[in-house]
Structure 1
Amino acid sequence: MKRNRFHIKFQLNGVSFSSVDEIITFASIFSDEIHQFLKNWFSDDPYIIVKTSGSTGVPKDIKLQKSKMINSALATGAFFYLKENTTALLCLPTEYIAGKMMLIRALTLGWQLDVVAPTSFPLRGIKKIFDFSAMVPLQLENSLNSLNQIKKLIVGGGVVSKQLENKILNTTCTVFATYGMTETITHIAVKRLNNFSSIERNTSMKSLQKGFYETLPNVEIYKDDRNCLVINALEVSNEVIFTNDIVNLVSETQFEWLGRFDNVINSGGIKLHPEKIEEKLSEIISKRFFVAGIPDSTLGEKLVLIIEDSYTSNEVEVSFKLKINQLKALTKFEIPKEIYFVTKFIETETNKIQRNKTLDLIK
C-alpha cells in the first residue's frame, strides 16, 4: 500500500489534503479512533485487522486485505453511481467494518466526507444535503423528519421492519437494505426499499425489484445443499464463502433472503423461517421482538413470540394474541403458540439481539 494512495479530491470535514501526513494529523484532532485507523490504513502492512460484530457467533478479529477493501469501495461507487466530489456522511462507529468502509470509499473515490458522532440521531442539528450515507435501522427511524437531506442511503446491521419501510415511502431519499458481512467487506448485495418508480442513470440499479437483493459487480451467487447462499466474490474475498442464510435464487444476480439456517424451526414437520414470520408481525408490533422455537413434547418445537417490554399484563397478552390471529399474512403454522415478555433483550456489542441467550431468560 503506497503512502500517497488517496484521491486528490478527498475531503474530510471540509478540509482538502496534499499528503497522507496531513490527513493523519488532521484526524488526530477530532477522533483517536479514526486517527489510529488511518495510520494503519496508510502503513506498509497489506492487511487491516477488523473486529466482527458477533451477531452470528463470538466476536473475533479478522485480517482483510487493503486491496480487497479498495475493490469493495470501487464496486459501491460503480453500483450507486457515486463519483468524485460525492458528499457523504459518516455517522457509524469506525470500530467496525461499516464505518471503516465509509472512510475508505471517500479516500478511494474522492468524496467530500463529513464525520459526526455515531449517535442514535445522526442528522440532529445538520442542515447540509448529502449524496450518500449509511445507517443502522435505529438511526433511520430517528431521522425520518430529516431524511430528505440524504439522496441515497444504505441501511445495515439489522432488519428494517415493515412499519419502518412504510414510513419511508414518501421520502425523496432512496433507501437500500444491504446484505453482507465483515468477511465480504460489508455489502455484496442491496435491496431497494422505496422509490421504485424513480429512473436511475446507472443501468445496474434499474433491475432492482421489490423484495429482492441485487448483487454488486463481480459477485457470483449460488446455493448449497442446505439451500444456503454461497458467495464467490474474488474481488473482495480470496475464499468462497458458505453462509448460513437460506435464500431463494431469483436470477443469477438476485435472491430473496428467507432467514438463518440455524434459526429454522421444525414444528410438527413444518419448517418455519423466523425472520419471514417476524417480517409479517412487524406490521402490528412496534416494540422489539423475535420468534423462536422451544422444545415441545408433541410438535418437537413450538413457535413462541418474545417481546421486549417491561410492563405486561393479561390484557396486554390477550390484545397481542387478538391482533396476531387477525393478521391475514400469517399462515396457521406461523401463529405463535405462546407469548413471553422480557424486560431487556441480551445484545451484542453492536446492539444486535442475541436470540439464544435471550431465550434462556424464559426457560
Structure 2
Amino acid sequence: MSLPAYSIVHDQFKFNGVHFSKEELCAIAEGYLNQEEEYLKDAGHFILQWFDENDFVNVQTSGTTGTPKLIAIKKQAMMYSALATGEFFTLAPGDKALCCLPVKYIAGKMMLVRAFILGLAIDLVAPQSNPMEGNSTIYDFVAMVPLQVEKSMQQLHQIKKIIIGGAKVNAELAAQLQSTMTAVYETYSMTETVTHIAAKRVGEKTFKLLPNVTISTDARHCLVIAAPLLNPELIVTNDVVTLLSDTEFIWEGRIDNVINSGGIKLFPEQIEEQLSGKLSGRFFVGAIADPILGEKLVLVIEGAPYELDSTVFDSLSKYEKPKAMYFIPSFLETETGKIKRKEILKTLN
C-alpha cells in the first residue's frame, strides 16, 4: 500500500540546516519531548503527530472569539494549504524559511508542514518578540505576528517575504513597512481554513484569494468561504466584507464588534485605524451600555493615564468620536497575545 503524500518528506527539506528523513525527524522529536523549552516540546509533539498513523492533527484554536478548543484537521487539508501557499508566494524547493511562531498553534504547525511538503530549508527558533536577534541568515519566507515584525525592523532586509497574521497591522507599522525592500503581506486566516485563504500587500486594502478557494456573502454581508480541499463544510464567518470580484474582497470589520450607538452602526476597527499612531501604547475602541444611546462608544488605552493631544480625534466624524475614555494598567490577553476586548469592556460597565 502506498503512503499518503503528506507523509513523504521532500528530498530538499532541511531542518536547522540539515536534511532529515521521516525516521530521523521522529527521533529528533522524541528528544525534544525531554527538553525544558516549551517551544521544543510543542515542536516534538507536532512532528510525532504529523508522522503517526492518523490522518488528522489536533489543533488548538487561539480563543480570540471564544473559548480555546481542540479541533481535528485533516493532514491532507494541511498539505493542500501548504501547496496553495507555495503557489501564491512562488516558493521553491530549497528556499530558506524561519519558524518563529508557537508550534502549539496552527500558524506554527503550518510553517513546518510547508517545509516538509515544499522542500524548504527551515530554521526553528523560540517564539519571542524579536526572533531575528543575533541571526544573520537571509530568509526567503517568514511568518510573524505584528509585534515580531515591529521588533525586527532593523533586520527586515534579511527577509524577502513576510506574512503577518494574528492581529491587524496598525497604520504606523504599515507606513514603516512600505518603505522597506521586503515584500510584506497581511493574511486573512483562521484555524478552520488551515491558516490563510487570502493575503494582501501591507498598505493595500484588497485581499486576494489563494488557489482553490471561492467566496460569497450572507444576508449580514459577512464572508462565506468555500474551500473544499481545506474544509468540507461551508465556513460562515462574522467578518463583514465588500466583495470586489470572485477572488478579491475588502475586510470592513467583525460584525460581533459592530457598535449600534443611537441607531448609527460603527466599526471599531475602522476607527482604530484612524487613531493608529496618534496614541501611546495599545488601545482599542468598544462599547458599553448607555440608557440613551443603547451603546456608547468608548476608547480604552493600556497604561497609566495621560493627557491626549487635542487633535487626536480630528479625523473622526462626530459619531466616531469616543464618548468616554478609560485607562487600564494591563490588557487581558489570549495565549497568543490578542486583546480580550469583551472581557475588558465588561469590567467597565
8 Å contact from structure 1 (residues 50, 63) kept in 2 = yes
Deviation track 1:176-199 (CA, whole Å, cap 9, x = no partner) reads 0110100000000011015xxxxx
2:338 paired with 1:338: no
2:64 paired with 1:55: yes
1:68 counterpart (68, 74, 77): 77
Alpha-carbon distance, 1:35 to partner: 1.7
Partner of 1:265: 259
Number of aligned positions between the proteins: 339
Deviation track 1:55-94 (CA, whole Å, cap 9, x = no partner) reads 0111000000000000000000000000111100110010
Deviation track 1:256-278 (CA, whole Å, cap 9, x = no partner) reads 11111111101111100011111
Amino acid at match of 2:71: I
Alpha-carbon distance, 1:26 to partner: 2.7
Alpha-carbon distance, 1:169 to partner: 1.8
Alpha-carbon distance, 1:252 to partner: 1.1
Partner of 1:115: 124
- Alpha-carbon distance in structure 1 between the residues aligned to 2:174 and 2:97: 23
Normalised to the residue count of structure 2, the TM-score between the two structures is: 0.94
- Alpha-carbon distance in structure 2 between the residues aligned to 1:285 and 1:154: 26
Q: What is the DSSP-based 3-state SS (H/G/I as helix, E as strand, rest coil) of the residue aligned with 2:319? A: helix
Amino acid at match of 1:20: K
2:48 counterpart (39, 43, 48): 39
Amino acid at match of 1:362: L
2:14 counterpart (8, 11, 18): 11
8 Å contact from structure 2 (residues 29, 48) kept in 1 = no
**Root mean square deviation, CA, Å:** 1.3
8 Å contact from structure 2 (residues 285, 298) kept in 1 = yes
- Alpha-carbon distance in structure 2 between the residues aligned to 1:325 and 1:80: 38
1:151 counterpart (160, 179, 185): 160
Aligned positions of 1:1-363 closer than 5 A: 2=4, 5-17=8-20, 19-30=21-32, 31-193=40-202, 210-309=204-303, 311-312=304-305, 316-317=306-307, 319-320=308-309, 322-326=310-314, 328=315, 330-363=316-349
> Once superposed, which parts of structure 1, at least 4 consecutive aligned residues long, lie more than 3 Å away?
1-4, 27-30
8 Å contact from structure 2 (residues 7, 50) kept in 1 = no
8 Å contact from structure 1 (residues 28, 34) kept in 2 = no
Amino acid at match of 1:325: F
- Alpha-carbon distance in structure 2 between the residues aligned to 1:33 and 1:58: 21
Normalised to the residue count of structure 1, the TM-score between the two structures is: 0.91
- Alpha-carbon distance in structure 1 between the residues aligned to 2:29 and 2:253: 40
Alpha-carbon distance, 1:4 to partner: 5.2
Q: Structure 1: which 5+ runs fail to align?
A: 195-209
Alpha-carbon distance, 1:6 to partner: 1.2
> Among the aligned pairs, what percent are the same residue?
49
- Alpha-carbon distance in structure 2 between the residues aligned to 1:26 and 1:298: 62
Alpha-carbon distance, 1:362 to partner: 2.1
- Alpha-carbon distance in structure 2 between the residues aligned to 1:134 and 1:325: 33
Quick check: 258-267 or 22-31, which moved more? Answer: 22-31
- Alpha-carbon distance in structure 1 between the residues aligned to 2:90 and 2:286: 40
Alpha-carbon distance, 1:349 to partner: 1.3
Partner of 1:198: none
- The 1:296–1:4 alpha-carbon spacing in structure 2 relative to 1, beyond 3 Å, is closer
- Alpha-carbon distance in structure 2 between the residues aligned to 1:230 and 1:272: 22
Alpha-carbon distance, 1:172 to partner: 1.0
Amino acid at match of 2:345: L
Quick check: 286-295 or 138-147, which moved more? Answer: 286-295
8 Å contact from structure 1 (residues 68, 235) kept in 2 = yes
- Alpha-carbon distance in structure 1 between the residues aligned to 2:244 and 2:312: 30
Partner of 1:201: none
- Alpha-carbon distance in structure 2 between the residues aligned to 1:75 and 1:234: 13
Deviation track 1:217-259 (CA, whole Å, cap 9, x = no partner) reads 1110110000100000111111000000011111111111111
Alpha-carbon distance, 1:279 to partner: 0.9
Alpha-carbon distance, 1:323 to partner: 2.6
Quick check: 32-41 or 215-224, which moved more? Answer: 32-41
Q: Structure 2: which 5+ runs fail to align?
A: 33-39
8 Å contact from structure 2 (residues 334, 340) kept in 1 = yes
